[in-house]
Structure 1
Amino acid sequence: MDENGLHEQLRNLQTQRVGGQHALHKPLLLLWLFGRYLDERSSETSFEAAEGPLDRLIDRFSLRKVPASQPFWELERTLWTPTTEGGSLIADTPHSAKWLRDNGAQGSLRDEVVNVLDEPRGIFTAADVLYEYFAPDVVDTLRSAVRLVPPVFFRPAALKREAPTTTTRLPQARRTKSREVPIEFERSVRNAVFKWLEDLTAQNGGPIPFAQMANFIFDGTRIPILNPQSGIHKPAKLGSALSIKTVYRRPTEERPYEDELDESGRILRYKYRGEDPLHSDNVALRNAMERKLPLFWLKGVDPHANYETHFPLWLTAERPEQHLFEVSFEGPPKD
């Protein structure tokens, strides 16, 4: 499935009409899933985790009030795979919320959907298709509610000023190295970023709203220092990862990437993206470790996308069998 194929499916969801308008529970489920994927790097969720947030979205944005269980079992199987706790596929016939809870229902976006979402701006262009189901005057509010507000450098006004980015997918065996960027440039950018984050923290009196960190300028050029679609970010102008992120989750909610914390809240180990050591994000972290370059860590502190920044930190060891890197605030690895 390519981007056009996904957009066509999103525009043709089987939605009932109420008073001449679409019932909106399927688009709302998809938008919530996209926002969750953006924050947490996970395309999977349990019904238990989705029920409350989805009920609130339906109550707020849909004329027809249906339970969250309905889109969970009803959403098209070309986009979504719901299963029981034992792994059995859930049929697209009515199931109550109680049945879904009792059977440990889980669901995941299909891999071909996730592949499109992972493309540059892919998650936001897919969301834009879903917003077509809603009245224009609620779209901005809806974007915030599903945590899909694009950073400044992803927004249309910014895109008009910049040439489109062309991304080429490389074979896995060729993803082991990034281009070599002069170490002096890497260090200069990082020092400037750390000073800028110090200033933002002082201005906010503590945690920084995620959107404020989209406007870093170095030597007259904007350098995106964050990627909303991933917890690991390497700017295009650098050869190594610059930042890692751990999103906020309520104590009762599971975190798909359980980055281990010590009592002070500082990370000790940071999970790979997925399990492929040759994924470009994991390669970018490895490059930072090998070149002994510092990173900063964003730690989510509330559900409103406010983050504490911690820096400098260094990757000191890689544990491929556990799919993670070890992290230290004490300095780079010793030779």
Structure 2
Amino acid sequence: MVVDENGLHEQLRRLQTDKVGSQHALHKPLLLLWLFGRYLDERSAATTFEAAEDPLEQLIDRFSPRRVPAAQAFWQLERTLWTPTQEDGTPIDDNIPRSAKWLRDNGARGGLRPEVVDVLDEPRGVFLAADVLYEYFDSSVVSALRSEVRLVPPVFLRSTALKREAPSTTTTKLPQPSRTKRREVPIEFERAVRSAVFKWLEDLTAQNGGPIPFAQMANFIFDGTRIPVLNPQSGIHKPAKLDSALSIKTVYRRPTEERPYEDELDESGRILRYKYRGKDPLHSDNVALRNAMERKLPLFWLKGVDPNANYEAHFPLWLTAERPEQHLFEVSFQGPPKS
């Protein structure tokens, strides 16, 4: 059973990969990388086979020396890392071959085990785990693979955490963020950026006649400087130039798919409660949300409306209360929290 970072990394290095001659089938590392990227992007550790099949088939076609069906990875992946079930919750036996048709007909779904998710939520956790999986692949394809599974690390991590090193039995962890040591960006600057972002989003909404393609929101310029206003790989975003979170995101889900992280919406479809990143209140994303709440700064919320990455931009909204025992913040469109 995975209990810590080293235990997870050891299990990732010992995946059972089928081999014919000198060629390995890398369907299991590819499924895990896809799951890790999806978790980082959408805050969801679970998936249906229907959602995973096409992207996993494409990854296998491109990056696995030996071709195997995506279905094989789904029911064969080690149960200490992942739990696949039928639609009614019945576990899927890993000793009985299951075809793609069988998995689709039985509403197969699966999720990373909670103890795996706990490790991924550690500082740099998901990137360090991905680095272990890249060891299965030729170094010449790692850069392309990293981009394909949406696990490109933030710039501040690239020079330290993500160098591909020889396997090690120990891993150095970053210290937990300290709220007493955070730098204070002037409140006037925070407010000015937000005011400009909201006006820019209004213009984009008008230009598109409604929802905005995600790609159009990558080029916000403030006072001659580009400021990223969202992160395609995370639901919570704090630009480097700010001290507080600027945006939160809820991805689109088909009616038959589970909603990631159980963000709660009201009857009109507006966000009421937004889940933590993981469960650690001192995770940097959660600290950034708390800073916005304490400084009474407004955010914008991106709500996915279709599978083509189109989003409604809702703003301004404020975080009005934190519920640590439930790992969430309460949201209001009426105004900032009262003193």
Question: 2:212 pairs with 184, 208, 211, which one?
Answer: 208
Q: Note if 1:122 corresponds to 2:123.
A: no
Matched with 2:164 is none
Matched with 1:311 is 315
For residue 64 of structure 1, report the CA deviation from its aligned partner.
3.5
* Whole-angstrom distance in 1 between the partners of 2:93 and 2:323: 40
CA contact (8 A) 1:178 1:240 kept: no
Instruction: State the secondary structure of the residue aligned to 1:311.
Output: strand
Matched with 1:170 is 175
Mapping 1:176-255, distance limit 5 Å: 178-255=182-259
Instruction: State the secondary structure of the residue aligned to 1:297.
Output: strand
CA contact (8 A) 2:121 2:277 kept: no
Instruction: State the secondary structure of the residue aligned to 1:317.
Output: strand
- TM-score scaled by structure 1? 0.72
- Once structures 1 and 2 are overlaid, which stretch shifts more, 274-283 or 293-302? 274-283
CA contact (8 A) 2:211 2:311 kept: yes
Matched with 1:40 is 42
* Cα separation, partners in 2 of 1:265 and 1:83, compared to 1, 3 Å: closer
CA contact (8 A) 2:250 2:304 kept: yes
Instruction: State the secondary structure of the residue aligned to 2:313.
Output: strand
Letter of the 2:69 counterpart: V
Q: Note if 1:66 corresponds to 2:69.
A: yes
Letter of the 1:261 counterpart: L
* Whole-angstrom distance in 1 between the partners of 2:261 and 2:277: 9
Matched with 1:96 is 98
For residue 201 of structure 1, report the CA deviation from its aligned partner.
2.1
Deviations 1:88-121 (A, max 9, x none): 99886445366999898744163586258x6399
* Cα separation, partners in 2 of 1:67 and 1:280, compared to 1, 3 Å: closer
Question: 2:330 pairs with 323, 326, 335, which one?
Answer: 326
Letter of the 1:82 counterpart: T
* Cα separation, partners in 2 of 1:57 and 1:40, compared to 1, 3 Å: closer
CA contact (8 A) 1:27 1:133 kept: no
* Whole-angstrom distance in 2 between the partners of 1:131 and 1:217: 40
CA contact (8 A) 1:234 1:240 kept: yes
For residue 299 of structure 1, report the CA deviation from its aligned partner.
0.5
* Cα separation, partners in 2 of 1:306 and 1:6, compared to 1, 3 Å: farther
Matched with 1:258 is 262
* Cα separation, partners in 2 of 1:120 and 1:34, compared to 1, 3 Å: closer
Letter of the 1:81 counterpart: W
Matched with 2:77 is 75
CA contact (8 A) 1:232 1:245 kept: yes
- TM-score scaled by structure 2? 0.71
* Cα separation, partners in 2 of 1:165 and 1:50, compared to 1, 3 Å: same
Letter of the 2:195 counterpart: N
Instruction: State the secondary structure of the residue aligned to 2:260.
Output: coil
Instruction: State the secondary structure of the residue aligned to 2:300.
Output: strand
For residue 309 of structure 1, report the CA deviation from its aligned partner.
0.7
Deviations 1:31-55 (A, max 9, x none): 4313321332133x2xxx4322333
* Whole-angstrom distance in 2 between the partners of 1:36 and 1:210: 16
CA contact (8 A) 1:249 1:255 kept: yes
Q: Note if 1:284 corresponds to 2:288.
A: yes
Q: Between the two proteins, what is the percent identity of the paired residues?
A: 63
The number of equivalent residue pairs is 312
Matched with 1:55 is 53
Q: What is the root-mean-square deviation of aligned Cα atoms in Å?
A: 4.4
Instruction: State the secondary structure of the residue aligned to 1:257.
Output: helix
Instruction: State the secondary structure of the residue aligned to 2:190.
Output: helix
- Gaps of at least 5 residues in structure 2 are 162-172
For residue 295 of structure 1, report the CA deviation from its aligned partner.
0.5
* Cα separation, partners in 2 of 1:223 and 1:259, compared to 1, 3 Å: same
